[in-house]
Structure 1
Amino acid sequence: MTQENLWLRNVEQNPAHSQWYINRFRAMAAQGADLDGEARLIDAMVPRGARILDAGCGPGRLGGYLAGRGHDVVGVDIDPALIDAAEDDHPGPNWLVGDLAELDLPARGVAEPFDAIVCAGNVMTFCAPSTRPAILRRFRAHLAERGRVVIGFGSGRGYDFDEFLVDAAKAGFNADVLLSTWDLRPFSPDDDFLVAVFSIA
């Protein structure tokens, strides 16, 4: 695992960071906040019983929702504390500790490709810049031929949208749809958030 990963650096500098993040989303859920916008979009894009990879799953809110809708979900996150929270709060999916830059699920007994891969929550911007192209290639290798990858993150976080789209094209993806929100608002160059829907080129 690379130590350039911003999430790991945050945890190293503040060992309570992971628990703060877990508690934040637990509190929001308890207050009735709508935490399922990303998951609803993915659910609408796939058939019932789809195989879905929640890449950078955190404490499991997205993958847990999708599993509750009958999908076969695998969640991967680099932080063991977040995976423990996902197992506690959202039993059902296959939650795994792993580095997306080294993603090799067949080696861990998860052989079938995915109908959808979702990477939400600014995950790509936490990953080391040197690993981002490799992560996109790993997503491509794990995707079913007619599957789609959906990635969302904000601007000003060290990964320029144009650079990201070039990296995705080099990894073998077509950008089918570009949105500015998870609720289907079209993307424009002035927007500060991007949700990109990719298919295999």
Structure 2
Amino acid sequence: MSRWSEMAGKASGEDYAARFAALARSGKNVHGEARFCAALVPVGARVLDAGCGTGRVMIRLAELGYDCVGVDLDASMLAVARQQAPGLPWFHADLAGFEPDSLGIAGGFDLVVAAGNIFPLLAPGTERAVVERLSAALRPGGLLVAGFGLDEAHLPVPPGLTLADYDDGCAAAGLTLVDRFATWDADPYAGGGYAVSVHRR
């Protein structure tokens, strides 16, 4: 069972979406992840939102002109995504066994984004398998972008994944670190409890 599943009973997809809607109404920019990704690949690029949740990032990228596919294991989250953007492709799947062909999705993504603490909330021991699956979904030269917390201040669960572990898994999957930032606003990373990593296949 994923660490996310252990927490899922505490909040539904609607609760999660409502929290971000409230942030948006307060004037906070809730599209930092989409803006970050849009700076990496040209409009029209094919993007996989891995662990898409309620679709906040993917819907914004689609609005900006990207060809997007969303995948998540949480049915409650996907129900909200499908309600908000019924015309976009949303798939219910476990990232640890993600195979685009089996879902009827052609492979070859230009960018895979895993926002929202996806990696720390996976089932322990599956992180490398997920990296391998996501790397395999990328075209040569494609980018894997992942942002996640590294300490208790930035995670809803006790930290269990280090950057060194993540980088090792990426290297084993044929990915090379391109850059690392402290935020989705591309602030330089100099240590700290949150990191946004960009790896290239």
TM-score, normalization by structure 1: 0.91
Q: How many residues align?
A: 194
- Structure 1 position 108 matched with structure 2 position 110: no
Q: 1:84-121 deviations in whole A, cap 9, x for unaligned?
A: 11112234321111111110111111113100000011
SS at match of 1:112: coil
Q: 1:29 aligns with which of 19, 24, 28?
A: 24
What is the letter of the counterpart of residue 77 of structure 2?
L
Offset of 1:83 from its aligned partner?
Answer: 0.7
What is the letter of the counterpart of residue 193 of structure 2?
D
Aligned to 2:114: 119
Matches within 5 A, 1:149-164: 149-156=144-151, 157-164=159-166
Aligned to 2:170: 168
User: Structure 1: which 5+ runs fail to align?
Assistant: none
SS at match of 1:147: strand
Q: 1:77 aligns with which of 52, 72, 79?
A: 72
- Structure 1 position 8 matched with structure 2 position 10: no
**Would you say the 8 A contact 2:3–2:124 is kept in 1?**
no
**CA-based RMSD:** 1.4
**Would you say the 8 A contact 2:12–2:76 is kept in 1?**
no
User: Structure 2: which 5+ runs fail to align?
Assistant: 152-158
Aligned to 1:145: 140
Q: Which of structure 1's runs of 4+ aligned residues deviate more than 4 A?
A: none
TM-score, normalization by structure 2: 0.91
**Would you say the 8 A contact 1:72–1:93 is kept in 2?**
no
**Identity, % of aligned positions:** 37
Q: 1:118-177 deviations in whole A, cap 9, x for unaligned?
A: 001111111012110000000111001121110110112211111111111111110011
SS at match of 1:34: coil
Q: 1:53-91 deviations in whole A, cap 9, x for unaligned?
A: 001111111000000011110011110111111112234
Q: 1:179 aligns with which of 161, 178, 181?
A: 181
**Would you say the 8 A contact 1:52–1:118 is kept in 2?**
yes
Offset of 1:48 from its aligned partner?
Answer: 1.6
